[in-house]
Amino acid sequence: MTSNFKNVMPIFLKELRSYFNSAVAYVVIVVFLAIVGWFFTSDLFLMNIASLRMMFEIIPAVFLFVIPAITMRLLSEEKKSGTIELLTTKPLTDAEIIAGKFLAAWALVGIALIPTLLYYITISFLGNVDNGPVIGGYVGLLLMAGVYVAIGIFASSLTDNQVVAFILGFVFVFALYMLDKILYYLPGWLASTVEFLGIDYHLSNISRGIIDTRDIIYFFSALLFSLYLSVLSLQRRNW
């Protein structure tokens, strides 16, 4: 799975441009800001604490459906229209194709997160914000988004139907998100393993402002594993 960045770049730029040429990018950014803004303001003065905790709690839930929507067409549309045949007969490896698409979708999520800094700026006028959890929160969100995007791309690689890709992507990320919330129903010996597999557990670790290598390793291995599955899925044509 060697990748040459020079080959990844055109795909990355093309996909990112196509998000902004269609309405997708703007819809994502607006939906994001609106939902996050609603939860951010609705209890800010109720709690009377200068904290972005509420925001960092709601964004992972918003990611659950926004990210599969961003990634659903990345491969399924190419399969449906047949352009996948153009792409895979160019002098590129399958890993480069997946990498370009992954980076474009991840970048879009990153861009959508930028306006939420407004809430941070607002709050820092109102009171003293503890910067550690904010930095940790953003790092955690970006890593989580990376994992979701990778999973979404895998879902998109399984089908030529965008709706199916969306639903599969949603189910996969939702399962990952829920893992550490069902511990109550599990036998004790299984609970700690399942907790470690749940993505929200690692996000909450990072969000406290403590960046632990175990969490970083978790995010990157989940991300790379999903991308690896996507490459395998793209190579199914060879079987």
Partner 1 sequence: MAITVSNLTKFYGDEKAIDDISFEVKTGEILGFLGPNGAGKTTTMKIITCYMPATSGSVTVDHVNIADHSLAVRKKIGYLPELNPLYLDMNVVEYLEYAAQLHGLEKSRINHQLKEMIEVCGLHDVKHKDIGELSKGYRQRVGLAQAMIHDPDVLILDEPTSGLDPNQIIEIRNLIRQLGRAKTVILSTHILPEVQATCDRVVIINEGKIVADGTPDQLQQDFQGSELLIIELKASVPNGLEEILPKIKSHNGVVSAEYQPIGDGLHRFAVRLNQGNDIRENIFRQAVAEGWVVLEMHRKVTSLEEVFHKLTMAPADKNEKYAPAVH
Give residues in contact with partner 1 (CB under 8 A): 6-7, 9-11, 14, 17-18, 21-22, 81-83, 85-93, 237-238
| Identity of the residue, 62 or 87, whose beta carbon is nearer to partner 1 in the bound complex | 87
Q: In angstroms, what is the minimal distance from the CB of 22 to partner 1?
A: 7
Could you say which DSSP state residue 209 is in?
T
Q: In angstroms, what is the minimal distance from the CB of 156 to partner 1?
A: 16
| Identity of the residue, 3 or 124, whose beta carbon is nearer to partner 1 in the bound complex | 3
Backbone φ/ψ region at 179: left (φ over 0), alpha (ψ -120 to 50), beta? alpha
Question: In the chain, how long is the greatest CA-to-CA distance?
Answer: 60
Smallest CA-to-CA distance from 230 within 86, 28, 71, 80 is with: 71
Could you say which DSSP state residue 224 is in?
H
Q: In angstroms, what is the minimal distance from the CB of 146 to partner 1?
A: 24
* Contacts for 2-5: CB closer than 8 Å, 24+ residues apart: 2/93, 2/95, 3/93, 3/95, 3/96, 3/99, 4/96
Taking a C-beta distance cutoff of 8 angstroms, is the pair 173, 63 a contact?
yes
| Identity of the residue, 81 or 221, whose beta carbon is nearer to partner 1 in the bound complex | 81
| Identity of the residue, 8 or 55, whose beta carbon is nearer to partner 1 in the bound complex | 8
* Geometric angle at alpha carbon 66, from 63 and 70, rounded to 5°: 125
| Identity of the residue, 10 or 127, whose beta carbon is nearer to partner 1 in the bound complex | 10
Q: In angstroms, what is the minimal distance from the CB of 167 to partner 1?
A: 23
Q: In angstroms, what is the minimal distance from the CB of 189 to partner 1?
A: 43
